[in-house]
Structure 1
Amino acid sequence: MIIPALDVLQNQIVRLYQGKYDTAQFYPFELGARLKAYADSGAGKLHLVDLEGARDPSKKQWQLIQAATKALNVPYQVGGGIRAEQDVSDWLKAGANQVVIGSMAVEQREQVQAWIEKFGAQHFVIALDVNKTTNGWAPATHGWLNESEFSLFELIDFYVDLGVIDFLCTDISKDGTMSGPSFALYEDLINHNADIKVQASGGVSSLADIKQLKALGVGGVILGKSLLDGAFSVEDALACYSTHE
């Protein structure tokens, strides 16, 4: 599946380089119009991140995002600033198909487990951002400043046991770089558990990247900067992905 992505900061569409806020590149697109354009292009799912809420939950931009998604006729997943059960409930009531849980899924597993058991595993995407270390893939949290006590695969196994199958995994060194995806990361994930649906995120810069990710067996490809910068269109990406099914 091709999943166009939009990040929102200061009520504007933005891309960061390797997750750093001081690298923000703003785009002159209106959020609702851009989402509609992606949906009209045939995308089967959209991905939204409230970067303001992720940085400071007291500054959530949820009103803006919910207004922009109200007219959408395709499913969407959303993350950023989701810290409480009420946040999960609010988004699902607002029409989100799934909520994306990042740092909380690493640091407060029991809390997230309770949400999954209450709302259903199908409504969750677990987002794991990783650094490559001498000990393997190490999840990082809180703007990628802190390293987790758990390994990537320990976390995957924990959530799979709860019924989660959707995992959004990003190699921090690749995010927003347009330097090519972390094929090694996705290969390792699929080798570990071929039944999960891995959403590849970060570094996708060409249709050849999409072709290679599809061949590896990922369940979805998140496209942010490549679409905003016009490297290729949603239609191009969909055609490339579908010809390799």
Structure 2
Amino acid sequence: MHPKILLPHARLLVEKYGAVVVAPEYRTAFEKPFPADLEDCYAALLFLKVHADELGINDAQIMVGGESAGGGLTVATCLLARDIGEVNIAFQMPLYPMLDDRETASSRDNHAPVWNTRTNRFAWKYYLRGLGGVTPPCYAAPAREANYAGLPPAYAYVGTEEPFYCETLEYVANLKRAGTEASVDVYPHWFHAYDMLLPFAKKSKEAVRHFEEHYLYATEHYFAPQRIPPSLD
């Protein structure tokens, strides 16, 4: 598919606000199972930090975002970055993220178009095939994380017909319980990727407008300065 279709939110931020976006061409589950995709995303995050001056970015405002599986990788990347401590992330934007390999009230018996119970079960099974049936770590299925402290502020949106509806709301709630600023917009009757498949619909335009508002708010209010290596203190 054309990049303009695959990266609508990223293109918007580049074309309208001059943001610098690094979009990793991560290995999908069809190429390699977990953790190949996360390794690629984390490598891109390190690249952003190391080349901040060259790219002309403020390394205190590194943000991570994505839709669907990319939304799940957004959260996994934030978790990994927090735990390793090499890169500080200022803000995260996981849009209808794929977070839970276990079925929830919204992913169970879901027959919505585009993505539903059947496709979700297949995708998780294929993605986790390298684990040999062992319970996946939270980096693979971030909903399994027990500690949400220290994660960056977040904005998300999701549709009510979306299999990922419940896990998105639960993730935002977990962030709030951990003391992190987080918000989510919910769109009634939306199925998976509604905003990208029907970009000219009224609700899709509304979602884009809210996405922009939260991005701009983040640029003014959220900062995460990078740590100075001990040898340079």
Same fold? TM cut 0.5: no
The structure with the greater share of residues assigned to helix is 2
Shorter-chain TM-score range? 0.3 to 0.5
The structure with the largest strand share of the pair is 1
